[in-house]
Amino acid sequence: MYDTLPATGYAQIEIEHPETESNKEVSMDFVVVGGDAAGMSAASRAKRHQPDIRVTVLEMTRDVSYSACGMPYNIAVPDRDMDDLVVRRASVFQEKQGIEMRLGHQACAIDPRAHRVEGRDPEGRTFSLPYDALLIATGAAPIFPKIPGIDLPGVLVLKNLEDGRKLKQYLADHHVQKAVIIGMGYIALEMCEALAARGVAVDMIKPRPGLLPWMAPDLSDRVREVLEAHEIGVYDGHAIEGISPREKGGLVVASAGASLACDMVLVAVGVAPNSGLAADAGLQLGPGGAIAVDQALHTSNPDIYAAGDCADAFHVVTGERTWLPLALRANRAGWAAADNVCGIDTRLPGIAGTAVFKVFELEVARTGLTSQEAAEAGFSPATATIKTRSRAHAHAGNSPIHVHLVGDRASGRLLGAQMVGREGCAHRINAPAVALHAHMSVADFSQSDLAYAPPFGPVWDPLLTAANQLLKKL
């Protein structure tokens, strides 16, 4: 039988309730599939809430609880150990918290009716594990474009810690002087800087035109200028025909408009949610093929939760489902899932898609919707883009900062923000992010009492200047 959980104004999800469902008890079996951000956050929190709960974590790799976002910066330093990024080892979870950690264990199937997870252990033997509550926290996997030669030696990815070890070892063993990065997203841009720091020349290539298509042109052009100033080759709009080995060693990435020789290829075209396990179990999927969850992280089965990069979320601006793999959301969703497993009603309102990354000396930040996304969501968008200074005009060290805001003509709401500059973007973007969560209008945001001191910004903060310009267009 089915019912619909209230989602406080957001899209709803159908939850299947088996006729044999029984009440959960404290001494339940809580099984977590996936041992990184969402999975280990949930496992630890469940143990804090209910020390008697039996928590088992199935992790197919040998690594848990590490800072994946720190890998490009680790790779930039040759003599730094990749394991420096490990936050807590599996043995600590097991010995100090009583969480049963099963590393090298791959979950292959879920039987929702029998409440069991089937899988293989490190020796290839099958296992069957019962659960009362199950969390799927399988994350996301790198996308491999379907081009000839994508599986050649020297074609690498960077998603998990083992990928980082392999990439770093490849750099050490092969005396890499030139690399080609397929893709121009966050990881690709961060790896440009990391490889350049090691003296590696870099070319970037992708089929679609535009360096950062989601970004306002003035801001995207600034990023391109910095890349080219650091002698990064930017080949956007080049359909890749294939990767082939060179006669004298190395690889060649061929396209209709360029042939790029290199010693290594890094594939960084994006990621896709690891939702196959859920789909095979008959669970509902959402945008991008992510696992559909409600605000309490329930899937379409009442005893199965999903959190992290494998699951969707609600967007606080549109109220609709979206899939945006973000670190903070993964950790927060793991906590919320554990709360609900332990009988503590916890619901997450959603995400604004706030993100920031570094490209050499530039800080690049965004939150909310782009103008195109706003139009597709049914808004009537207006935009304002300004260029001003990061500090008071007479203060030494000030530098240009670009701000782009998106608002809705019909309602006056603030819908999104983007920022690019040498300083003052990474934390400044949090102000419009909070405004989006609060559903503030551009007029209200323009009246915000933001801090001022000459070393940190002009009297009229760049965000306020942009908001005042946007008000004229609304």
Task: Note whether 273 and 311 are within 8 A (CB).
Answer: yes
Task: Tell me the mean pLDDT in the region 10-17.
Answer: 51
Residue 243 and residue 302 in one domain: no
Residue-wise pLDDT tens digits, 154-199:
999 999 999 999 999 999 999 999 999 999 999 999 999 999 999 9
The parent domain of residue 249 ranges over: 155-269
Using CA atoms, how far apart are residues 413 and 368, in angstroms rounded to an integer?
12
Structural domain ending residue among the three candidates 294, 310, 341: 341
Residue 349 lies in a domain: no
Joined tokens for residue 23? 């009440």
> 69 catalytic, yes or no?
yes
Residue 133 and residue 21 in one domain: yes
pTM as predicted = 0.92
Mean pLDDT of the chain, nearest integer: 93
More confident residue, 258 or 444: 444
Q: Which residues contact 399 (CB under 8 A, 6 or more apart)?
A: 389, 390, 391, 421, 422, 423
Number of H helices, E strands in the chain: 12, 27
pLDDT at 3 over 60: no
Alpha helices in 115-185 (DSSP H): 161-174
pLDDT at 461 over 60: yes
DSSP assignments along 292-309, one per residue: P--TT-B-SSTTEEE-ST
Task: Note whether 236 and 224 are within 8 A (CB).
Answer: no
Residue 264 and residue 282 in one domain: no
- Of 69, 108, 262, 425, the active-site residue reads 69
Cβ burial of 81 (10 Å; 0-12, 13-18, 19+) is exposed
pLDDT at 69 over 70: yes
Nearest to 396 by CA among 454, 312, 311: 454
Residue 356 lies in a domain: no
Q: pLDDT value at position 23?
A: 41
Residue 230 and residue 180 in one domain: yes
If one counts the domains in the chain, the total is: 3
pLDDT at 81 over 70: yes
Residue 221 lies in a domain: yes
Task: Tell me the mean pLDDT in the region 437-454.
Answer: 97
DSSP state of 378: T
More confident residue, 2 or 355: 355
List strand residue ranges (DSSP E) for 250-333, in order: 251-255, 259-262, 264-267, 271-273, 304-306, 313-314, 321-322
Residue 288 and residue 198 in one domain: no
